[in-house]
Amino acid sequence: MELELTDEQRLERDTFRRWFTTELEPRVPEMERGELLPYGRMRDMHVGLGLEALSSSFARTTFMVEMSRVSPSFALSYGASTGLFGANVLGKGTPEQVRDWAVPVLRCEKVGSWGLTEPGAGSDALRGMKTTARRDGDHWVLCGSKTFITNAPYADVFLVYAKAQGGDVDGSVQAFLVDRADPGVSTGPPMKKMGMRGSPTGEIFLDDVRLPADRLLGGGVRQRDHVKSSLAVERGGLSVLSLGIAERCFEIARDYAKTRHQFGEPIASFQLVQQRLARMYVAVSNCRRIVYADHIAGRKVRESVADVCAGKLYCAEMGTFVAFEAIHILAGNGYMEEYVVERLARDAKLIELGGGTTEIQILTIARAILG
């Protein structure tokens, strides 16, 4: 399915694609090798594309799709910083928190990080959480650690979740604003990963980190859906990343099949190759319908928790499926770094794990539909 676009929307898409192709893609190999951090490019992107103009859902979605086509790991770091940190503070913070914490991150002047997962609490992130925030007079004292956290090794600011002990929010999981300069805060080195190598991932350590009371996100308002609403946003964003991966891999495989000759003819003429390409197109088309539901409907589509999880589940699996099908069509060349699809396949796999594994999506959907 191809989207019907206005001239303005087509111009937006082409502008994004041109910037990411010319300004970002040449630097991707350096970022993948860990020789270049993504954050300077984010600041350049903010200036070069005028991101404050992303006022429509179509523009915001297309911006992330085009970014993901070139570098899913860059999109992951950007989304964690401006989305999971910046947008969370923007939507749930006090006016002062928005001014002092959200705005610098949304402008890419600072790098944000979102700390939920712990060494012993991944899928069971809330019930198994060990990180605590103890109320002590006019302060909170945080103790614990987080792992597998995007941007952690280099972030300036962190949104850290902890079980509150004392105060009006006693017994609930709450988010706290933490600065790298706060005494007791430290981070581990970047982890070595299968994919998403251009996006630094690491640990956060909180050793009696003493924070003033105004570091509690929202200023003490009890917000029980903090984590669930944030996870819904993350899952929707990961669906967008999967679409970008699937689109790019499909196009690479399609174009390669047209030009690669075996037995005296292009491999695109072979029915088994056509079958793979057709199934890849079905997957891309369905992912596009999910990601662009608002645009297709011409209105804001209200999605239930089950809908969000269903979208993330399907897009994540199809992103991996299309990427590995592309490798198969390119055969030996697909296994080589030069043809991009092997990197995109490694990146795609993370999306089946992050933001809740496939199993967690299925369980959440089942609970929702069974009442």
Alpha helices in the chain (DSSP H): 7-19, 28-32, 39-49, 57-70, 72-78, 88-92, 95-97, 103-106, 226-259, 271-291, 293-297, 305-330, 341-351, 358-370
Nearest 5°: phi and psi at 110? -130, 160
Locus of tokens 């669930």: 228
Locus of tokens 């490798």: 327
367: number of Cβ within 10 Å: 12
What CA–CA distance (Å, rounded) separates 367 from 360? 11
**Amino acid identity of 48?**
G
Map residue 290 onto helix, strand or coil: helix
Active-site residue, selected from the candidate residues 32, 66, 203, 234: 234
DSSP conformation class of 121: B
What CA–CA distance (Å, rounded) separates 322 from 279? 8
Q: Is 234 a catalytic residue?
A: yes
Positions marked catalytic: 234
